[in-house]
Each structure stands twice: as C-alpha cells, then as structure tokens.
Amino acid sequence: MDERFERYVTELFAAEDPILSKIRARHAAENLPAINVSPEEGKLLYVLLHAIQAKRVLEIGALGGYSGVWLARALPPGGELTTIEKDPKHAKVAQEAFDMAKLHGRVRLVAGAALDVLPTLTPGFDAVFIDADKEPLPKYFDWGMKLLRRGGLLLCDNAFFHGAAIDPNDRSPNALGVRAFNELAAHDRRLVATIIPVRDGLVVGVKIRESA
C-alpha cells in the first residue's frame, strides 16, 4: 500500500494512545524483531473481533504484546485472550505490556512452543490469530480449525510474506509454509476466506462448518 494511504488510515482510524505507543517503542528498545503488527492492522483486528462479539480469543505468537493489547481490548468484561509465546524474553516483555495496559484478568500468557501448548487447549475459541514462525503454518492451520467454533474467525498475518508467497523460485521452508497455509485457507471447505491486502497481507476466514 502507498505509504500516504497507510498514514491516512492510521492517523484517522488507528491513532495510538500513549500506552500502545510506549509498548511499540519498547519492542525496539528491547531489540525484539521488527515484525509486530502495525497500528492499522491492530485496529482491523479490533474491529473484526467486535463484529463477531468475540469473548474467547487465541493468539499464536505474542512477541512483545502489542497485537495482544489490541486483541484483548476488543473483548467484553469476562472475555479472555490466550496468547502463546515460546521465547522467554519475548514472553517477559509481553507480560509487562499487558500489565502496562491494565489487562489483568483478561490475558492468559502461556510460555512454550505452540505445537506443545495447542493440544492442551479447550476448543470453542471465537477467533484464532496466527502471527508466528512460518514453516509450521500448515500445522497451525489444522489446530486453528480444531480449536475454532463454527462462525469463528481464523486470522493469519504475513499472507504475502514480503513477496515470497508469489515467488515460485523461493523454496525456503518459511515461504513454503506461507504458501501452504494460504492454499489451505483458500480451499478448505470448512472455511470461507480471503486476504485483506493491509501491510504484508492478512488472511481472514470464517469457519462455516465442522467437517469438509
């Protein structure tokens, strides 16, 4: 997207409050990878969760907590975000972000590898947001569909993966993982999905049935 349009959307619809600005700034200060969602992506996630009146949300890949704050703020009283993070440093920064945003009791941070944690979770999530390592994305797709309720949202960031998704010459494990996830989202009969071309692309799908 043209940077002018991004700036327009962010300034008009997704202006950060001081807490969000501080949390995003801490990502750089703590030398976390610069892969967190942008403000306009955060606002889009916020809107989507409100649209389905989400109460239970799962995030795979907390990083420093920025996206988690957007997600958790969209939930009603009594709602809960479960977010998984395998890197201990990232998990510590994320927990500090949730504390800073006064989300006590609304976020459950689970430290560990996603593929170890996911089998322990109870199905029935209203939305699953995936923003984690790319090679195992097809496995995250399978778990997301198992854990989602019918009518729930399957969301995945980096659908274009900086152009690698449409580059047939890129056979790296990460590119293959992204392409495989996109193919699954496009063709799985349990899901109606598309890609919203915001920043690096966001897969948005609605689970319409339990079995293919």
DSSP string, 42-109: HHHHHHHHHHTT--EEEEE--TTSHHHHHHHHTSPTT-EEEEEE--HHHHHHHHHHHHHTT-TTTEEE
- Mean pLDDT, residues 46-61: 98
pLDDT of residue 1: 62
CA–CA distance, 68 with 11 (Å, rounded to integer): 21
Query: Would you say residue 23 has pLDDT above 70?
Result: yes
pLDDT of residue 141: 98
What is the per-residue pLDDT for 11?
93
Q: Residue 2 — pLDDT band, cuts 50, 70, 90? A: confident
Q: Say which range, 21-30, 86-95, 145-154, 184-193, has the weakest mean pLDDT.
A: 21-30
Q: How much is the average pLDDT of 150-167? A: 96
Q: What pLDDT sits at residue 28?
A: 83
Mean per-residue pLDDT for 72-97? 96
Given a contact cutoff of 8 angstroms between Cβ atoms, the answer to whether 64 and 87 are in contact is no
23 close to 63: Cβ distance less than 8 angstroms: no
Q: What is the average pLDDT across 167-195?
A: 97
d(CA 180, CA 185): 9
Between 118 and 26, the higher pLDDT residue: 118
Per-residue pLDDT, averaged over 106-125, amounts to 98
Predicted confidence at residue 19, as pLDDT, reads 95
Q: What is the reported pLDDT for 36?
A: 86
Structural domains of the chain, ranges and CATH numbers in brackets: 3-207 (3.40.50.150)
Per-residue pLDDT, 53:
97
Q: What letter does residue 193 receive in the DSSP assignment?
A: E
The pLDDT value recorded for residue 27 is 85
* pLDDT (average), residues 162-174: 93
| Torsional sign, CA 101, 102, 106, 111 | positive
61 — alpha (psi -120 to 50), left (phi > 0) or beta?
left
Mean pLDDT of 110-139: 97
